[in-house]
Structure 1
Amino acid sequence: MTEFLRRALVASPTPPAREAAAALADSADWVPVGDADVVIALGGDGFMLQTLHQMLARRQLAVPVFGMNLGTVGFLMNEWRPHGLDGRLARAKSFKVTPLEMTATGVDGRVHTLPAINEVSLLRETRQTAKLEVTVNDRIVLPELACDGILAATPAGSTAYNLSAQGPILPLGSALIALTPISPFRPRRWRGAILPDKTRIGLRVLEPAKRPVSAVADQREVRDVASVAISMDRARELTLLFDPEHALDDRITMEQFAA
C-alpha cells in the first residue's frame, strides 16, 4: 500500500469539473503539481491526455496520476466520487503507459519531435487522397498507400481513434503497436498491421505539394509534413492509477466484447 502525502489537484475548465474541484477543495492540503507525489485529475479523457503531456514536459515521470471522470467517455479515468479518496488511493492499481515519439520533418525542412500517448496519425489536408510510402525498420513494406491517412496506436490508445478506424484492440502490456490505415483506397485489401513495439515505423509523403499531409501526435498537429518517424519512447514511461474494479487492463480487454 502506497501513501501519497503530497497531492495536487487539477481540473478541466468545464463546469462539472470545476464544481468537483470545489467539492474536494477542503479535503486535503493540496500542493502545486511540481511538488506533488500524486496528481488528482478531474475531467475527461482529453483532459487526462493534456495532464499527462504536462507531466512529460515537466519530466515528472515518477508521479502517478489518478483521474476521475467528469467528461463523456472517461476511458482513462475512474468514477467520480467526492468521498473516500484516501482509501481509493491506498488500494489503487498502477499501470505503466509508454508513449510514442513522433519525429516529423516538414516540407520546409523543419523537424518537430513530439510524444503521443494514444496515437500518431497522418491525415490528408485537402480533397486529394494522400499517398504514403510505409517502411518498417527501414524496409519498404508498402511502396504506395493511397488513403485518407494512417495511424500508429499504443495499447492504451488502441480503443480510441484506432478502434474507430477499424484497428485492433491491443491488450495493455502486449508490447505491440497497431498500424492502421484510414479509409485505404489502394491496396484495397490492406487493413493494417500489428507490430512489435520495438519497431521503427517510417512514413514518407509522396507528392507532398499536390497531396499535402498533416501529422498529429495526440492533440498536437504539424502541417505539411514530408516524412514521419515513429517509435516507442521507453525512457518516458508514465503511471496511471485505477480503482481495482475499474482497472485499465480489464477495460481494454472488455472492449473486445462491447456490442
Structure 2
Amino acid sequence: MSGTRIHFTASGAPEAQEAIARLTARYGQAGLQQAQVIVALGGDGFMLATLHATGALGVPVYGMNRGTVGFLMNAYDEEGLEARVAEADPTQINPLRMRAEGSDGTRAEALAINEVSLLRAGPQAAHLRIHVDGRERMDELICDGAMVCTPAGSTAYNYSAHGPIIPVGAAILALTPISAFRPRRWRGALLPITATVRFEVIDPHKRPVAAVADNVEVRDVIWAEVSSDETVSHTLLFDPGHGLEERLIREQFS
C-alpha cells in the first residue's frame, strides 16, 4: 500500500519520541485531517488518549508499543510499516457514555473506552445503590467502589478487581465491585450491552464518591449513569493473528 498517508503521534516517553523522529523521517508525516491511518506510539494509556482525541475523524488507529504493557498495541518494528498497516485486521469498539450529577447540581458527560468507575473519595467506604434499566437490583453495596467495563477494557482495572475477561465480540458489559464489604461475596454481574446502569450514592456528604470515565473525573457525585454508546465507534488495527479477540483469550490462560 505504497503512499499511505500516515499521521504519527507519540507519548512523551523518550522511547516514543525517538521512534516518532525516525518514523516521520522515513515515512513522512501526513496532516491529521488528510491521514488514512493514525499510528500511535506509546502504551495503552496513550492509545486511549489518542482514540479520545481523534475519534471524531473516523480514522483507524494502529498502535506500536513504546510503553509498558501495550495490550492495545502491536509490536514495534520500523520495517515495512505501510504493508503492515494494509494487512492489519480492524476491530470496532464502542465506548461507554457516563452521565453524572455532582452535589452542587452540575451535570457532566464523558466517554470511556475501558471503564467507568465509582470510587470512594474519602476515608470511609462508599455506599452505593444500583439500578439496571430502571429496576433496583441492589439497595446497598458497601465498597471502595464499583465499575462498568467494556470487553476491550475487561483486562485492565476490571481484571485487577477480579472481574471477568469478556470476549470482544460478546454483547456484554461487566459490572464489578471494588473491595466489596457488603454483600461480602458478591462478585458482580454480566449485563447485556444495551443495559443502563445507574449508581446512586447513599449519604454523599459523609461518604463522598468520584465518578471516573477513563481519565475524566467528576468529584462529589450523587448519581452516575453508564451505558454503551453505539453511535460512537473506534477502529483499532492489529497485525494478523494478534487481534484483540486473540489477546483476550490468551490473557485468560496466562
Q: Name the TM-score class by shorter chain.
A: over 0.9
Which of the residues 37, 62, 68 maps onto 1:66? 62
Matched, 1:122 2:118: yes
User: Structure 2 unaligned runs (5+)?
Assistant: none
Aligned residues: 254
- Give the match for residue 147 of structure 1: 143
**Structure 2 residue matching 1:241: 3-state secondary structure:** strand
Residue 245 of structure 1 deviates from its aligned partner by 2.6
TM-score (norm: length of structure 2): 0.98
- State whether residues 4 and 82 of structure 2, in contact with CA within 8 Å, keep that contact through their aligned partners in structure 1: no
Residue 4 of structure 1 deviates from its aligned partner by 7.3
- State whether residues 134 and 140 of structure 1, in contact with CA within 8 Å, keep that contact through their aligned partners in structure 2: yes
CA 126–3 in structure 1, closer or farther in 2 if over 3 Å, else same:
farther
User: Structure 1 unaligned runs (5+)?
Assistant: none
- State whether residues 11 and 42 of structure 2, in contact with CA within 8 Å, keep that contact through their aligned partners in structure 1: yes
Question: What aligned pairs does 1:237-256 form with structure 2 within 5 A after superposition?
Answer: 237-256=233-252
Question: What aligned pairs does 1:179-190 form with structure 2 within 5 A after superposition?
Answer: 179-190=175-186
Matched, 1:111 2:107: yes
* One-letter identity of the residue aligned with 1:70: R
- Give the match for residue 84 of structure 2: 88
CA 174–4 in structure 1, closer or farther in 2 if over 3 Å, else same:
farther
- State whether residues 114 and 150 of structure 2, in contact with CA within 8 Å, keep that contact through their aligned partners in structure 1: yes
Of 79-88 and 155-164, the range deviating more from structure 2: 79-88
**Structure 2 residue matching 1:122: 3-state secondary structure:** strand
- Give the match for residue 177 of structure 1: 173
Q: Over aligned residues, Cα RMSD in angstroms? A: 1.1
- State whether residues 107 and 224 of structure 1, in contact with CA within 8 Å, keep that contact through their aligned partners in structure 2: yes
Residue 5 of structure 1 deviates from its aligned partner by 2.6
- State whether residues 68 and 79 of structure 1, in contact with CA within 8 Å, keep that contact through their aligned partners in structure 2: yes
Matched, 1:223 2:222: no
TM-score (norm: length of structure 1): 0.96
- State whether residues 4 and 38 of structure 1, in contact with CA within 8 Å, keep that contact through their aligned partners in structure 2: no
CA 247–3 in structure 1, closer or farther in 2 if over 3 Å, else same:
farther
Residue 3 of structure 1 deviates from its aligned partner by 7.3
Of 84-93 and 28-37, the range deviating more from structure 2: 28-37
Residue 71 of structure 1 deviates from its aligned partner by 0.5
- State whether residues 126 and 142 of structure 2, in contact with CA within 8 Å, keep that contact through their aligned partners in structure 1: yes
- Give the match for residue 12 of structure 1: 11
The percent identity for this pair of structures is: 52
Once residues 35 and 210 of structure 1 are traced to their aligned partners in structure 2, the CA distance between those partners, rounded to angstroms, is 51
Once residues 47 and 183 of structure 1 are traced to their aligned partners in structure 2, the CA distance between those partners, rounded to angstroms, is 28
* One-letter identity of the residue aligned with 1:43: G
Once residues 29 and 255 of structure 1 are traced to their aligned partners in structure 2, the CA distance between those partners, rounded to angstroms, is 35
| Cα shift readout 1:87-141 (whole Å, capped 9, x = no counterpart) | 1011100000110000011111111100000000010011111000000000000
Of 129-138 and 83-92, the range deviating more from structure 2: 83-92
